Amino acid sequence: MDTANSSRAAQGPVRAVIFDLDGVLVDSEPNYLESEQRLLADYGIRFTAQMKRQYIGMGTREMLDDVASRFGIPERVDVLVARKNAYYLEIAARSTKTYPQTRRLLMLLHEHGYPLAVASGSSADVIEAVLSAASLSGYFDALLSAESVARGKPAPDLFLAAARRLDIEPEGCLVIEDSSYGVQAAIAADMRCIAVPYVLDAPLDDQFSAADLLVSTGMTGLRPDEAFAWIRSLT
């Protein structure tokens, strides 16, 4: 565990926890990259891992809208999203890697009765399929997808929708995120945030410093029992 930000300590107690999916519960970025490479290869575009880095944490629709604009793809974004999701589900069915650290934290929160949600920039069918493949489907009270709101991360809409679904005020929610877009969305929603960066390029994006708890070494540095104790201290 790493650094805690006390600048927003006046917030109320944590009553619910909202997990991002990709890069937090599951290491899905390699699968997403492969699905995007397959999709864009259909249009003659070689999409590299380096090109992908700027989009990590962004919603699928927002990413493909930008990529289509950059490369002049004439297809409607809805069609691109559907085709990418089809590729992704095929790939994810072969292999979905879960993070033991966040699985352990999820189990502790579930055992202690915290309302739990997933709020992800992925589509609803992708979220359900990945959680099923990871044997995590039964632990969440709400699943929110990019299709649930008008604006994806870094807008706060997705997290605010999750709070409404859980019937908990935003100030009582804590978000666990791996991207600067997600941290920005959590702060804009007036929620606490644990940031576990997926991309560890130095220096880290400045947005990560706004998180209430930053694990600057990423998932390898997350200690689930310590994180749970920290959450309990805010409860």
**83-87: which pairs have CB atoms within 8 A and are 24 or more residues apart?**
83/39, 83/42, 84/35, 84/36, 84/39, 84/60, 85/35, 85/60, 85/123, 85/125, 85/126, 87/34, 87/35, 87/38, 87/39
- Please give the helix or strand (H or E) that residue 166 lies within, else none: helix 157-166
Instruction: Name the active-site residue from 2, 22, 78, 167.
Output: 22
For residues 176-202, average pLDDT: 94
pLDDT score recorded for residue 123: 85
pLDDT band, very low/low/confident/very high, at 235 (cuts 50, 70, 90): confident
pLDDT score recorded for residue 6: 54
Is 167 tagged catalytic?
no
Q: Above 70 in pLDDT, residue 1?
A: no
Is 125 tagged catalytic?
no
CATH of 29-94, one of 1.10.150, 3.30.70, 1.10.287, 1.10.8: 1.10.150
Q: Above 90 in pLDDT, residue 125?
A: no
d(CA 171, CA 190): 6
The domain limits of the chain are 3-27+97-233, 29-94
Summarised one tens digit per residue, pLDDT across range 194-214 is 999 998 888 898 999 999 999
Instruction: Name the active-site residue from 2, 20, 66, 205.
Output: 20
Topology of domain 3-27+97-233 in CATH is: Rossmann fold (3.40.50)
